Amino acid sequence: MSARPVLVVEAFPTVPLVEIVFAMPAGSALDPKGKEGALVLALRSLRRGAGTKSSTQLDDEIDRLGGELSTGCDALQSSLHATVISRNLEAFFALIAEIALRPTFAEEEVARVRREVTAELIDARNDDRTLCGRYFRRTLFAGHPLGRPAAGTLTSVASLTRADAVSAWTRVWNTRGMVIAASGDITEERLAELWDRYFGGAWAPTHERPAELADPAPVKKRRLVIVDKPARTQSQILIGALGTHPTDKDHHALYVANTVFGGTFTSRLMREIRSKRGWSYGASSRLGRERVREVFSMWTFPKSSDAPACIGVELALLEALHEDGISARELSFAKKYLKESAVFDSDTASKRLAQRLDEACGDMPKGYHDRFIPKTQEVTIEQCKRAVRARINPDNLILCVTATASDLRAQLEDAIPGLASTTVIPFDRDEFYA
Amino acid sequence: MHRSTSPEKPAKKRAATVKRGGTTKTAAKPSSWLDKLNAAASKRAKVTEEPSVAFGAETIQRFRLGNGLRVLVVESHHAKVVSFHTWFGVGSRHEHEGKTGLAHLFEHLMFNETKNLPAGTFDRKLESIGASTNAATWNDWTYYYEDLPSDALSLVVSLEAERMKNLVLRKPQVVSEIDVVANERRYRVEDDVDGTVNELLYKTAFEQHPYHHPTIGWMKDILAFTPEDCRRFYKCWYAPNNAAIVVVGDVTAPKLLALVQKHYGEIASATIPEETYPQEPEQKQERTDRLVKPTPTAKLAVGYKSPALSHEDHPALSVLCEALFGGRSARVFRALVTDGELATDLAASVAQFRDPGLFEIYATARDGVAVETLLNGLDHELRGLSVNPITEAERERSIARLELGFLQGLETVGGRAEQIGFYETVLGDPAGSITRLAALRAVTVADIERVAKAYLSKAKRTVILVEPSPDAPNEASEGEGEEESE
């Protein structure tokens, strides 16, 4: 039986561009154990040959049309993301249909993509911030699907075959609940017409969307992870634990508290770390808003010799937040900031589309974005305090630092009261906690 | 950049121009409101109108105050937001040996204390209205911006005028910001191989011209700045006659000009120094430098001397660059990344500077591929241009990609303000991006063949080779606090 996905359109005909997202409600969490990276391999192999067209022909055609085609993948969803100059929309849409419906997954092309992914995994070791984020997440979400690397590891990618790629794509493409979202120089009628012409009858999903993920296990005690890289003059530092879920009763209160703590340029964290001490060019905290319980984290990057002291101040600030909450003045300021800046969450068609897509895909509850700012305006000081106490415990944290371990390990350990364990991971090791 | 991006907010998207019907309100006829505005204005504050310029389907209205301040306005009422930019005609090209990085440090200091605003108040006031602010410095310019809800325009105009005339530059402010900038340099250069390579490429390619030194400055210079250095720089360059205000969004010219006149009208102009830096002598021999770095794979940077942005060859060279390196269908990308599997990543661009710059090429080798092999592969492809010149199909694809990038770069009010401010400051043509698109479209394969022969000469290039070594020391080219060694 054929079907039509949910279509979402934010028209903005002033700009001769069209952006289209094919959002599929299944992601890398479906990769079999030991086959991490299978879906990414499949998605990236799509444009390496489809129908009668070779990889080279597809690349030539995409560029000739003034188009871009990329793919996205995380644990829960995957996507094809297309942008094109609007005069070439139909030809580009036809090409996407060819790619999505008739990918060839030629053995030699899949192998080529596998080698590309491998090279990128190695190259990513160049980036200290990427390394810090990678091991922070892998430690925080150890044993949970969120901790599995979507792109895979060197070991898992080496094991992937053409059959793995075909299987991953077939599973994802045939999952119910796909949403096609478009913004720019396009209408919903036009999108429906293009779908019917190029996909109609050919898309017949047979799989139910995967079940929601259970909450990850909370962090216990303070655990230090050092990503050991030689000759660092600066340390990348991420400190955090689990954060919030959009259906939590204290979701909005925690968000407001985080805004005060590290969510703006004049927040507590920025004031103490950068403005007063000049230790780090950036200092912020983040509270992920996803459909699963994501991360609360603080991010700084001081000179290596300042790293222990910087961690000490961050911990003290977090303890103060946990103990005392926020002041009435801070609450009032944060609410005003959130209310006044909300206009920038929807000032372009692309941003409005992203919000609608969130809800259409089930990433956020229906009406989440419309209700978000009004809800933050109702938050009280007591609610903020209770939310911080319930969700963020300064005694239970992952502290991940990219640094030269031989220079800093002892000082870092001294700077963290109540430290339960230290793990040192060489930066060029392919560690992963299954 | 004055600050790193807050992870709570999505990264600023670059994007999209206006195709048709860009404005929904009709601009007020200048003569009537301007006459009223000027009725009681001083000579400095008097506003004169200059010819408007088409910007796609929109219009850039242009004005100038008696003190020399240029004001460029695009009325665009699609959303209740405004982007307010202030572009200054000063960048690292205006610095001298021993004082490098001053333009960038100054960008940081501009967010600090003023006569009427204690430290931290500038940012706090902007956050209270929901505005975001930042700044950037490069060789030829420095700019500051605020993206704000349109009903908060008055506050932003008053804040920007305040820091143009009343910045406080004492030791505590300067010392604190020096530490922050030193950390920014560690982040972008010392601990970043790509940043180190880019710095070394320009340092080696330019021997006389100030493009030789990095915009962020050498570490020893950053650490040695004094408040007096900063005060001198402020007095010299931060004047209305060296600035252009660019405002795009839900605003009308009469309302904006009334605010600008009120807050900027009494700021005195300054004598902007004539530029006296040495011209770069013609490069006649290939220059090479080699680094060993704690990086997992080899890296390569190549810079061919390229023309200034205003030069007639710049569009053709840009199309050539796109045909060789832009996108998966590009010739060198295909040869080195997709088919040859020598490189993981490949990027190239033609510098958009006021003076001649570099056609820059950066490549990251695959694991186990020697940097010389990568360079040989690149050379093979570039040599091949003489027997297999760029084809019409390659030209067509390249121009389509450049057009796509152009459209994506103008989607937001901030993106449009940036384009207008950049071209106004570098070329004196606020609609330069539109002119450039037309020039790109007009490039022929014969033009491309000609510029390939003219510019891709080994004698005019600089090559930086990076060899990986896990244990290599990660010293910056100018070790912290040490003398520059050349």
Contacts with B, A 46-75, CB within 8 Å: 55-56, 59-60, 62-68
- Distance of alpha carbon A191 from its chain centroid, rounded? 27
Residue A156 maps to which CATH number?
3.30.830.10
Examine residue A190 and state whether it is found in any structural domain, yes or no: yes
Task: Judge: A233–B182 Cβ closer than 8 Å, yes or no.
Answer: no
Examine residue B280 and state whether it is found in any structural domain, yes or no: no
- Token output for B259: 């605010």
A163 and A88 together in one domain: yes
Contacts with B, A 300-329, CB within 8 Å: 301-303
What residue in B sits closest to A303 (Cα-Cα)?
A: B183
B452 and B360 together in one domain: yes
3-state per-residue secondary structure call for chain B: CCCCCCCCCCCCCCCCCCCCCCCCCCCCCHHHHHHHHHCCCCCCCCEEEEEEEEECCEEEEEEEECCCCEEEEEECCCCCEEEEEEEECCCHHHCCCCCCCHHHHHHHHCCCCECCECCCHHHHHHHHCCCEEEEEECCCCEEEEEEEEHHHHHHHHHHHHHHHHCECCCHHHHHHHHHHHHHHHHHHHHCCHHHHHHHHHHHHHCCCCHHHCCCCCCHHHHHHCCHHHHHHHHHHHCCHHHEEEEEEECCCHHHHHHHHHHHHCCCCCCCCCCCCCCCCCCCCCCEEEEEEECCCCCEEEEEEEECCCCCCCHHHHHHHHHHHHCCCCCHHHHHHHHHCCCEEEEEEEECCCCCCEEEEEEEEECCCCCHHHHHHHHHHHHHHCCCCCCCHHHHHHHHHHHHHHHHHCCCCHHHHHHHHHHHHHHHCCCCHHHHHHHHHHCCCHHHHHHHHHHHCCHHHEEEEEEEECCCCCCCCCCCCCCCCCC
Q: Residue A149 in contact with residue A238, Cβ under 8 Å? A: no
Percent of chain B exceeding pLDDT 70 equals 90
Residue B22: pLDDT over 50: no
Neighboring chain B residues of A234 at a CB cutoff of 8 Å: 183, 186-187, 190-191
pLDDT digits (tens, 9 = 90+) for B114-167: 999 999 899 999 999 999 999 999 999 999 999 999 999 999 999 999 999 999
Task: Judge: A122–B296 Cβ closer than 8 Å, yes or no.
Answer: yes
The range of the structural domain enclosing residue B146 comes to: 30-264
Touching check for A136 and chain B: CB below 8 Å?
no
Neighboring chain A residues of B190 at a CB cutoff of 8 Å: 233-234
Residue B393 maps to which CATH number?
3.30.830.10
Tell me how close the Cα of A332 comes to any Cα of chain B, in angstroms.
Answer: 10
B70 and B193 together in one domain: yes
Task: Judge: B120–A351 Cβ closer than 8 Å, yes or no.
Answer: no
Neighboring chain B residues of A240 at a CB cutoff of 8 Å: none
B258 and B291 together in one domain: no
Neighboring chain A residues of B297 at a CB cutoff of 8 Å: 119, 122-123, 126
The range of the structural domain enclosing residue A136 comes to: 6-198
The position carrying tokens 């007096």 is B228
What residue in A sits closest to B129 (Cα-Cα)?
A: A340
- A286, A336, A340 member nearest B8 (Cβ): A286
Examine residue B372 and state whether it is found in any structural domain, yes or no: yes
Examine residue B369 and state whether it is found in any structural domain, yes or no: yes
Examine residue B247 and state whether it is found in any structural domain, yes or no: yes
B293 and B428 together in one domain: yes
- Reference A25, options A230, A151, A177, A140; nearest CA is A177
B252 and B122 together in one domain: yes
pLDDT digits (tens, 9 = 90+) for B51-85: 999 998 899 999 999 999 999 999 999 999 999 99
**CA of B87: how far to CAs of B112, B154, B331, B359, in Å?**
18, 19, 37, 25
Q: Residue A79 in contact with residue B305, Cβ under 8 Å? A: no
B48 and B190 together in one domain: yes
Task: Judge: A116–B22 Cβ closer than 8 Å, yes or no.
Answer: no
- B328, B393, B408 member nearest A59 (Cβ): B328
A34 and A148 together in one domain: yes
Examine residue B483 and state whether it is found in any structural domain, yes or no: no
- Token output for B349: 């661009």
Touching check for A265 and chain B: CB below 8 Å?
yes
A404 and A279 together in one domain: yes
- Residuewise pLDDT in 10s, chain A (434 residues): 457 899 999 999 888 999 999 999 999 999 999 999 999 999 999 999 999 999 999 999 999 999 999 999 999 999 999 999 999 999 999 999 999 999 999 999 999 999 999 999 999 999 999 999 999 999 999 999 999 999 999 999 999 999 999 999 999 999 999 999 999 999 999 999 999 999 988 899 999 999 989 999 999 999 999 999 998 999 999 999 999 999 999 999 999 999 999 999 999 999 999 999 999 999 999 999 998 999 999 999 999 999 999 999 999 999 999 999 999 999 999 999 999 999 999 999 999 999 999 999 988 999 999 999 999 999 999 999 999 999 999 999 999 999 999 999 999 999 999 999 999 999 988 888 76
Task: Judge: B7–A299 Cβ closer than 8 Å, yes or no.
Answer: yes
The total of structural domains in chain B comes to 2
What residue in A sits closest to B474 (Cα-Cα)?
A: A231
- Reference B219, options B484, B474, B3; nearest CA is B484
B37 and B170 together in one domain: yes
Task: Judge: B411–A348 Cβ closer than 8 Å, yes or no.
Answer: yes
Tell me how close the Cα of B96 comes to any Cα of chain A, in angstroms.
Answer: 25
Tell me how close the Cα of B394 comes to any Cα of chain A, in angstroms.
Answer: 8
Neighboring chain A residues of B403 at a CB cutoff of 8 Å: 66, 85
A245 and A385 together in one domain: yes
Neighboring chain B residues of A265 at a CB cutoff of 8 Å: 3, 6, 123, 127, 133
B425 and B307 together in one domain: yes
Examine residue A432 and state whether it is found in any structural domain, yes or no: no
A288 and A393 together in one domain: yes
What residue in B sits closest to A113 (Cα-Cα)?
A: B338
